[in-house]
Amino acid sequence: MFESNEVRADTSTKTVLDTLDTPKELPLPSDFVWGAATAAYQVEGAAEQDGKGPSIWDEFSHRVPSVTSGEHGDVACDHYNRLDEDIALLSSYGVDVYRFSICWSRLIPLGGRNDPVNEKGIAFYNNLIDGLLARGIKPAVTLYHWDLPLELHKRYGGMLNTNEFQADFENYARLCFSRFGDRVQQWITFNEPYIVSLFGYHSGILAPGHSTQTGHDSTTEPWRVGHSLVLAHALAVQTYVTDFQSSQKGAISIVLNSDFYEPYDATSDADKEAAHRRLEFYVGWFGDPIYLGTDYPASMRKQLGSRLPEFSDAEKELLKKTASHNTFYGMNHYTSQFARARTEPATEDDHTGNVEELTTNKEGVEMGPLSGVSWLRVTHKQFRKLLNWAWNRYQRPIYITENGCPCPGENSMTLEQAVDDQFRVRYFGLYIDAISQAINEDGVKVAGYYAWSLMDNFEWAAGYSIRFGITHVDFSSGTRTPKKSAAYLKETFTKRRAAEANGKTANGKI
């Protein structure tokens, strides 16, 4: 959601839509839940309000020269000060769930286990949770969505110091469980640890901006950070299960993102193996130790050698002990690619499994029609395959915790054009169809879908240049305007869930 660049629409909306399949509006289970998602730094604003401390993103987005085109999240959508309005908006959309993240430095401004708690930050999230529940909306809470307290990064390098980070994260998680857990039934520890590790400590395009080019070691840092995230997650799960779950009755897990990969040459065994290996480097890196309680995938050990940290005996025991308590699989997914095996040896800082990623295959066929950003193509058929891959490997009910797209040229449109977001409507319809097919034809357990995003927001390194929201935001005034996709989601989930009982598609056809 944060890579460059906006794709401008040079043709009519109808012409663009002609490149997409037509949704079949397939049925979903009657207990399937849907909602919308956001992240604290992307929407809250209030960067220094009511005692909040700075995060690595507050520092990163204000660097000179700028890495975000001079844009930042100081105000963003001003969600912090427009809370009642946004809860009412969610209610009008008929959502079952709102997935949001807590800003660690809003609760503990300095971040550490011996640092003071900010009660005004606690009050904000209490008001949010209570406001949601009053309107019949369940909160799904992410503890960490990329905004590490800046002080922890300064003190000991943040996630580069596994022991210190693990202890401070466990303390922060315990605070959240104790203050909010009586009303929260779904906890997510970390959002997209793959992105945190590689985009923050390899390419450096996200906070804290570490890369070889900035004087850091891209050959080792991402793997150390990933290791810290796995172990901090496991400790937080143990804390929740041991001290809170019996009384609070909630569930806890993690959110892993991934593209799906098709072989560049469908007849090549090397490319088939490369596609599978790419998924292991992407998903298995975190999924195997967390859900299976095992070591990292053998393909990673083989290539990375000593650069991939080892688990101690105590850490292995912790992973085995907590694996079964990760009772759902959180999946963020947007697009897919082709994978081609490289013939030359892997470079020292390779993180793909020595795989080249492409948008066209050997025959020159594109993976799918282009959306409003250059990295996101409509690949709903591959989404179904990813659902099967994750289900077969980990056997956990899947929640789609993020999925969505920007329309071509959306950021350059008038308000009237932007809210008529037919490309996004079509995208949603096709991806929801893929979920139905995975459930009803493949036997995959998919329990919920949270659209990204509730509203246009600060899209990380892309700033405000691309829009993923089902609500249009005028960033100069803060005005929210529902897009047609919001109404579509409300209607389609109502129809699709009702259709299951009748054995029909949601549009009434057998």
Q: Kindly report the CA angle at 218 between 217 and 222, in degrees rounded to 5?
A: 110
H helix or E strand, kind and range, residue 472: strand 471-473
Asked if 192 is an active-site residue, the reply is yes
Q: Are strands 138-144 and 251-257 parallel, antiparallel or unpaired?
A: unpaired
**Cα distance between residue 22 and residue 30, in whole Å:** 23
* 3 state SS of 463: coil
Alpha helix locations (H) across 185-297? 193-201, 221-243, 245-248, 269-279, 285-287
Pair 424, 356: CB distance under 8 Å: no
H helix or E strand, kind and range, residue 301: helix 298-304
- Cα–Cα distances in Å, from 291 out to 279, 321, 389? 15, 11, 14
**Cα distance between residue 218 and residue 227, in whole Å:** 15
Pair 31, 397: CB distance under 8 Å: no
The burial of 246, by beta-carbon neighbours within 10 Å (0-12 exposed, 13-18 middle, 19 or more buried), is given as exposed
The answer for 500, left when phi > 0, alpha when psi is -120 to 50, beta otherwise, is alpha
**Cα distance between residue 297 and residue 299, in whole Å:** 5
Catalytic residue among 164, 402, 410, 459: 402
| Cα–Cα nearest to 162, from 322, 319, 311, 321 | 311
Catalytic residue among 44, 164, 192, 410: 192
The position carrying tokens 């923050």 is 200
The residues assigned a catalytic role are 192, 402
